[in-house]
Amino acid sequence: MLNIDERRIDVSRGDTGMFTVTFTGQDAPEDNCTVLISLKKTKDAEEIIWEKRLAVSNHMITVTLTSDDTNQDYGLYWWDLRIIFRDGTVYTPMLPAPFKVLEVIGDAS
């Protein structure tokens, strides 16, 4: 199960999923800019659990979550995204948001 409410993401442990982020407004990145998506256990943790670098196309990115991405201990994590413009400017358009790994009963492996 993958559920997204505003920026909060809830996903069942080990599940795969996909979602799209569309950028609007005057700060929307152009095609081929890079978006960096990161996941941490706590907002102030030094260690990044995983990170994805995605290219913008048509003012959007598609984020694919693999089983490895979601096969974390049950509980609350935090994610955010940063835009890296072609001139090297970095912009963070959102505060860190909750990413919750939900318990499951069966083992799909």
Fold of 2-101: Immunoglobulin-like (2.60.40)
Q: What is the pLDDT of residues 68-87, one digit of tens each?
A: 999 999 999 999 999 999 99
Q: What is the pLDDT of residues 7-44, one digit of tens each?
A: 999 999 999 999 999 999 887 899 999 999 999 999 99
* Number of C-beta neighbours around residue 81 at 10 A: 21
Which helix H or strand E contains 68, and what residues bound it? helix 67-70
| Residue among 45, 97, 37 nearest 69 (CA) | 37
DSSP state letters, 82-94:
EEE-TTS-EE--S
- What is the domain partition of the chain in residue ranges? 2-101
